[in-house]
Amino acid sequence: MGNPSSEVLSPGALLRRMCSVGLFGGLVIGACAGTDQNVERQRLLDEVNAAGTNKPAQCRPGIVEACYNGAPGTSGRGICKGGNRTCGNDAVWGACGGEVQPRKETCNKTDDDCDGIVDNNFERDGASCSIGTGQCKSSGTWRCKPDGSGTTCDAPLPATQPEKCDGIDNDCDGQIDEEVPGTGGSCSTGKTGVCAEGLMKCLGGQLQCAQNIQPSQEICNQKDDDCNNAVDDRCLTAEEAAKLKKP
């Protein structure tokens, strides 16, 4: 009669014996139900364990457990959540199905990187903003771009008007009183001599006739160069006037 300890049992017999002595301890529901499916699972597990250390059994075929492969502390924050994995018939864990791991933060009112902060590194969606300055300023709020790559201020474009001489940037092009209607034409300053000729300009927010020539030394040229309403009074020749200008 052989030694009972050396008795070689079939996979099914081994499973039944383990069930009879309660080795499973109720950890696997239905594992000792005596079904062909459970016997086959046990057989595969035995084969994997007998194959050596190259492919050790990781689990008992058919069981399911919670899993999460994201960074520690991120599960349950933002979009991140755990999933479940199932032990396959080869006694190896399958993929973690249903889990959501951290991803790059985008502007979408969601905590994508699961750090506890929504839309960090972006202007807060809904915060006030403005574009332009002074007369050309309009207000709005920051909004996430459709692709989530950033934020944009939804303030409307400032209302513009034709430019006029008033010291304001009416057409909102960043320049004040430029190309105002009524400027650029010849005009009379009301002064005498060469100081009488002028050009219409917008100065200080008002249309004014700015004289073209400033008073200078009277030259004998039949003009009132010093604008004193007297022509060639105490005048100098051009040569004499040139010598006076030399240092």
The four Cα atoms 23, 25, 26, 28 give a dihedral, to 10 degrees, of -50
- pLDDT at residue 91 is higher than 70: yes
- pLDDT at residue 22 is higher than 90: no
Beta strand spans in the chain (E): 64-67, 83-86, 128-131, 138-144, 151-153, 186-188, 197-203, 206-211
Predicted model pTM: 0.46
Helices (H), 26-165: 36-50
17: enclosing H helix or E strand: helix 11-21
Q: How far apart, in whole angstroms, are the C-alpha atoms of residue 146 and residue 159?
A: 26
Q: Are 120 and 107 in contact (CB under 8 A)?
A: no
Q: How far apart, in whole angstroms, are the C-alpha atoms of residue 56 and residue 184?
A: 94
Q: What is the pLDDT of residues 130-161, one digit of tens each?
A: 988 878 889 999 999 999 999 999 999 888 88
Q: Are 79 and 110 in contact (CB under 8 A)?
A: yes
- pLDDT at residue 70 is higher than 90: yes
Q: What is the mean pLDDT of residues 67-91?
A: 95
Q: How far apart, in whole angstroms, are the C-alpha atoms of residue 5 and residue 8?
A: 9
Nearest to 130 by CA among 117, 120, 140: 140
Which pLDDT does position 242 carry in this prediction?
A: 83
Q: Are 235 and 219 in contact (CB under 8 A)?
A: yes
Which pLDDT does position 10 carry in this prediction?
A: 45
37 pLDDT band, cuts 50/70/90, is low
Which pLDDT does position 50 carry in this prediction?
A: 59
Rounded to whole angstroms, what are the CA distances from 10 to 34, 56, 98? 14, 20, 38
Q: Are 83 and 90 in contact (CB under 8 A)?
A: no
Q: What is the pLDDT of residues 199-215, one digit of tens each?
A: 999 999 999 999 999 99
Which pLDDT does position 203 carry in this prediction?
A: 93
Give the number of other Cβ atoms within 10 Å of residue 179's Cβ: 12
Q: Are 156 and 166 in contact (CB under 8 A)?
A: no
**Percentage of the residues of the chain whose pLDDT score is greater than 70:** 77
**The pairing of beta strand 197-203 with beta strand 206-211:** antiparallel
User: Quick one: DSSP state of residue 44?
Assistant: H
Q: Is the alpha carbon torsion for 111, 113, 115, 120 positive or negative? A: negative
Which pLDDT does position 156 carry in this prediction?
A: 92
Q: What is the mean pLDDT of residues 210-223?
A: 93
